[in-house]
Structure 1
Amino acid sequence: MSNDINSKSLRLSNIQLSNIMDIASDAAKSGAKILQYYFHHLKKLIVHSKNDNDLFSQADKESERAIIDKLTINKNKYGIITEESGGNIGETATWYIDPLDGSTNFIHGIPHYSISIALVAHAGAFINEIKLEKDTPILGVIYDPCRDEIFTAILGHGALLNGKTIKCSNTKEIGESIVSTGLPYNNCLHHEKQMSILKDILKNTRSIRRMGSAALDLAWIACGRYDGYWEFGLSAWDVAAGTIILREADGICEDITKINPWPSNNGWILAGNKSVYIDLLNMIKPTISKIN
């Protein structure tokens, strides 16, 4: 979704972006304090179900509220889109927030979940005097509170893990790669085709992981733990931060269908280092073309 006409007045410098990053990082850690309290007191959780498989609790809601309170402290007019409360796209830029990515893991006491926060500038915005021709994630934070790992990136400034520069792996051969994926909760329409893709990739890679947090899957490619990733049926808040972090780590993160400038609307994402990405795309593309 593009807001070219309305976003031409947005101009952000390096200093402004750095200040916004500080706020976003602080917001992620504020949300994490709430998550960690409930994670260590799981009996206090009141669990609800959005559908048969997608769970949430008051931890999601309280984390979201804490994050939004921090992000809006300077009275910016950016839009806010969150997993739990929805929201509205802003005229110049929009925050995409997942206050708990990996809710099922969290509720079951599995210590693998994260907070994901991204700022997406809309087409026509100027970032360091460079005009964006399309909607673009310009800042991202993914915080893993169980490992105390914070992944961050600002457009044009590389990706960091706890303040240290990270890059994707150098894995060249698909047969030597470890890739990750997820199985969607709410979209079973193409299950047979998804299983076909899974079978092909399983035969051609070293191993596949299914860990339950899309944001961490992308962050782990950015720091070289994984080599590639694909998934269908995600939402914009699942992948916005991971997109900018992975791209700034010299990786590729795209909408498989190439319809959107980042995997924002249809949730069909393909990511990886530059070599593995191409091999995965060649395996997935024939099936995707049949779906579309």
Structure 2
Amino acid sequence: MKSSSLHLSECLKTAVTAAHAAAAILQAHARHRNDLIVDQKAQNDLVSQADREAEDAIIAILREQTPEFGIIAEESGSSGGSTATWYIDPLDGTTNFLHGIPHYAVSIALVAHAGCMNADEQPLRQDTPVIAVIYDPNREELFTAMHGIGAWLNEYRISCSQTQVLQDSLLATGLPFRDFSFYGQYMPTLDAAMRNTRGVRRMGSAALDLAWVACGRYDGYWEMGLAPWDVAAGTLIVREAGGAAEDMRHKDPWPVAGYVYAANPHIADALDTMIQPHLKRAEL
């Protein structure tokens, strides 16, 4: 199976088209957000009419243009694909969106399965994100990446920051808000980051946190308890911008289990070292 069979450049165009379609729906609803029908799936786990309509628009485009691929979506569940699978978050930052905070994004990634050929005609040894799109409609910032080729913000190539040490770094994170089972692991990492870095930001969109690491606005980022669609696109964008984006438990080839750390190449090891003592040893 060759990478050319995936037609990565065409897949990227498809993902960009889908992201723009979803964003148009979100922005139309944003002007009338008080009229939205909002359901609560669990504590602080909200889904709105805007999420569902945006996801439907994405899925319709992906199924029409890449019917051979599987789809894993936040609201619609999953369908299988032997070659590759799309991971979709139609609205990353739902709580921000519903409260009128203009910081949210559409996130779409294509993960190629083990055995596919990479750009060097070598088979991938593990599942690997190969296409990524994160679109911030409020700033009109389109982050994209292609495996082995690079990462871009709109038409400009991006790279991670050059901050050399953790003490001079600005980090991003996400606080526990829905699942508190890892609270005892997370809070010590936050304390360590507050005491040993330049500062910590919590903006409410994991996809944009990762994208901002990739373009150098943040030096690093970590979060626990996420879903795979939250991090699939951002993982590739950070990696193609020269940084590290990994599973903090060092189990999975990408942070599919939702325990992610990402950073520029200079501080990645130090960030990982800061996190490791606080993870439950039984889970490593």
TM-score greater than 0.5 by the shorter chain? yes
Q: Which residue of 1 aligns with 2:272?
A: 281
The amino acid across from 2:269 in the alignment is I
Q: Which residue of 1 aligns with 2:139?
A: 147
- Deviation of 1:47 after TM superposition, in Å, equals 1.1
SS in 2 for 1:62: helix
C-alpha distance in structure 1 between counterparts of 2:63 and 2:47, whole Å? 24
Structural mapping, 1:221-232, within 5 Å: 221-232=213-224
TM-score (norm 1): 0.93
Is contact 2:176-2:183 (8 Å) kept?
Answer: no
- Deviation of 1:227 after TM superposition, in Å, equals 0.5
Q: Does 1:109 align with 2:100?
A: yes
Is contact 2:182-2:224 (8 Å) kept?
Answer: no
1:235-257 Cα shifts (integer Å, max 9, x gaps) = 11000000111000000000011
**Candidates 146, 151, 157, aligned match of 2:149:** 157
C-alpha distance in structure 1 between counterparts of 2:282 and 2:66, whole Å? 43
Q: Which residue of 2 aligns with 1:82?
A: 73
Cα separation, partners in 2 of 1:49 and 1:67, compared to 1, 3 Å: same
C-alpha distance in structure 2 between counterparts of 1:52 and 1:183, whole Å? 14
Q: Which residue of 1 aligns with 2:167?
A: 175
The amino acid across from 1:67 in the alignment is I
**Candidates 234, 256, 268, aligned match of 1:242:** 234
Is contact 1:184-1:234 (8 Å) kept?
Answer: no
Q: Which residue of 1 aligns with 2:61?
A: 70
Percent identity of the aligned residues?
Answer: 52
Cα separation, partners in 2 of 1:14 and 1:124, compared to 1, 3 Å: closer
C-alpha distance in structure 2 between counterparts of 1:194 and 1:277, whole Å? 18
The amino acid across from 2:167 in the alignment is G
SS in 1 for 2:266: helix
User: Which has the higher mean CA deviation after the structures are superposed, 193-202 or 134-143?
Assistant: 193-202
Aligned residues: 282
Q: Which residue of 1 aligns with 2:122?
A: 130
1:100-159 Cα shifts (integer Å, max 9, x gaps) = 000000000000000000000000011332210000000000000000000000001110
Q: Which residue of 1 aligns with 2:15?
A: 24
C-alpha distance in structure 2 between counterparts of 1:146 and 1:195, whole Å? 31
SS in 2 for 1:130: coil
Aligned structure 1 segments of 4 or more residues deviating by more than 4 angstroms: none
Is contact 1:102-1:213 (8 Å) kept?
Answer: yes
- Deviation of 1:15 after TM superposition, in Å, equals 9.0
C-alpha distance in structure 1 between counterparts of 2:92 and 2:182, whole Å? 23
Q: Which runs of 5+ in 1 are unaligned?
A: 1-8
C-alpha distance in structure 2 between counterparts of 1:227 and 1:31, whole Å? 29
SS in 2 for 1:138: strand
SS in 1 for 2:72: strand
- Deviation of 1:177 after TM superposition, in Å, equals 0.7
- Deviation of 1:291 after TM superposition, in Å, equals 5.5
- Deviation of 1:163 after TM superposition, in Å, equals 1.6
Is contact 1:254-1:262 (8 Å) kept?
Answer: yes
CA RMSD of aligned residues (A): 1.4
Cα separation, partners in 2 of 1:215 and 1:175, compared to 1, 3 Å: same
SS in 1 for 2:267: helix
TM-score (norm 2): 0.96
User: Which has the higher mean CA deviation after the structures are superposed, 41-50 or 30-39?
Assistant: 41-50
C-alpha distance in structure 1 between counterparts of 2:232 and 2:101, whole Å? 24
1:217-247 Cα shifts (integer Å, max 9, x gaps) = 0000000000001110011100000011100
Q: Does 1:202 align with 2:194?
A: yes
SS in 1 for 2:65: coil
Is contact 1:28-1:117 (8 Å) kept?
Answer: yes
C-alpha distance in structure 2 between counterparts of 1:86 and 1:173, whole Å? 41
Q: Which runs of 5+ in 2 are unaligned?
A: none
Q: Does 1:47 align with 2:38?
A: yes
Is contact 1:83-1:97 (8 Å) kept?
Answer: yes
Q: Which residue of 1 aligns with 2:24?
A: 33
Is contact 2:185-2:280 (8 Å) kept?
Answer: no
